[in-house]
Amino acid sequence: MRDVSDEISALRKRHAEAAQYLKIEELRARQPQLETEASRPDLWDDADLARKVTGELSSVNDDLARYDAFGERIDDVEVLAELAREEHDDSVAAEIEAALTSIAADFGALEMRSLFTGEHDDLDVICEIQSGEGGADAQDWANMLLRMYLRWAERRGLDVELDEVSAGSEAGISSATFLVKGRHSYGLLRSEHGVHRLVRMSPFNAQGKRQTAFAALKVTPFLEDVPDIVIDEKDLRIDTYRSSGAGGQHVNVTDSAVRITHLPTGTVSSCQNERSQHQNKDRAMQVLMAKLAELERQKREDELNAIRGVQHSVGFGSQIRSYVLQPYQMVKDLRTEHETGNVDGVLDGAIDEFIEAYLRWMRAQSLDA
């Protein structure tokens, strides 16, 4: 059996590095404090505080469990390798190789945590899809993007709340707003902020000509508590309307949809998926507050480029990624140069490789700067 001591040493080094970027010592000190807070009988007298404490405790427990499990797995494979070498037993060689490969692959997923360096990367995220140039194809493309992100969230076990979907005038949708909830939702989806370009043989063209269509995704960290944002009621225009649209099972048709416009900035938020007009208004206001907080942060700290990238017009020359279905099949990110020929997989939500490539590219850009 071959000597695997170098591979085990490399894994132990990666384990030690994980202790640094996961801040394991800080988490071990914080864990008993959170457990004490979570066990207080009056904790749920303040529901917001209770959710914050239990959410942080869950994250701390998860990180510590993952870190400790990696250490145990490395110990197990090292003991097995030592016994096999002492006993000259080659029968477990395949098991050892498989274990080393599995641990290395799982470390790759864990190391993604080191790429979440933004202030709000841990937060939930507000996503807005808007169709752009391309007529009916653009509206259909916006609907395809919505499905892609819903499928991606489902694959990762993230929760999605679809707040608003506006049907297109010819096909698909003209816009949609949804909230993705789960740890690192914003940190992951900030890579998707920008214009997405589709090239295919148009099903809406009688001659079957190739058509280029554009749609954009805008992402905003969902800040539940934004105490520094003060809104004057006189600056708001509140419209109610009947929800329409596309989205099928994802949207409830009601007579109580609400759209709120902040007149000084032109910022708009909508919600049509709650049970009552009052609930729709509360959610739309919550989303509006998060958007205005984002605008204020950009204004104060000039973070437009650093956090979300530059948002261009939704048309030619502004795309971050191209999805080509004909005359060949390829998805290519124009920032990172990452590409794949598995277009069907990507459109079904398999976009993690593009997200990871972007996060690594951003870290490299930061180091170069």
Give the model confidence (pLDDT) of 197-212 as tens digits.
999 999 988 777 889 9
Q: Residue type for 336, please?
A: T
Give the residue carrying structure tokens 């739309």: 284
> In angstroms, rounded to a whole number, what is the distance separating the alpha carbons of residues 141 and 132?
9
340: CATH: 3.30.70.1660
Whose tokens are 């076990």? That residue is 157
Is residue 190, in this structure, part of any structural domain at all?
yes
Does 327 sit behind a cis peptide bond, omega within 30 degrees of 0 on the bond before it?
Answer: yes
Cβ atoms of residues 296 and 229 within 8 Å? yes
243 within some domain: yes
Which tokens is 215 given?
A: 């749609």
Interatomic CA distance for residues 277 and 254, integer angstroms = 9
CA atoms within 13 A on the CB side of 269: 24
Model pLDDT, residue 28: 96
CATH number reported for the structural domain that contains residue 75 in this entry: 1.20.58.410
Among 53, 80, 115, the domain-final residue is 115
229 shares a domain with 131: yes
The pLDDT of 37-66, averaged and rounded, is 91
Do 178 and 303 lie in a common domain?
Answer: yes
pLDDT bracket for residue 248 (50, 70, 90): very low
d(CA 307, CA 88): 55
Per the CB < 8 A criterion, the answer to whether 319 and 195 are in contact is yes
Dihedral-angle region of residue 337 (phi above 0 means left; psi in -120 to 50 means alpha; beta otherwise): left
Query: Which one-letter amino acid corresponds to residue 206?
Result: A
> How many angstroms from the chain centroid is the CA of residue 128?
13
Structure tokens at 318: 């502004």
- In a shared domain, residues 92 and 137: no
What's the chain's average pLDDT?
Answer: 87
Answer yes or no: do 161 and 303 share one domain: yes
On whether both 197 and 313 belong to a single domain, the answer is: yes
- Tokens of residue 183, six digits: 């740890």
120 occurs within a structural domain: no
Co-location of 158 and 307 in the same domain: yes
Give the pLDDT score at 302. 56
What's residue 369's pLDDT? 59
Is position 38 within any domain? yes
Q: How far apart are CA 349 and CA 367, in angstroms?
A: 30
Dump pLDDT digits (tens) for 278-325. Answer: 888 888 888 888 888 878 776 765 544 444 454 445 555 679 999 999
Domain of residue 249, residue span:
125-368
Where a domain ends, among 92, 115, 138? 115
Q: Are residues 138 and 262 in the same domain?
A: yes
Indicate whether 19 and 129 sit together in one domain. no
> Which pLDDT belongs to residue 230?
77
Number of domains comprising the chain? 2
Judgement on whether residues 288 and 145 belong to the same structural domain of the protein: yes
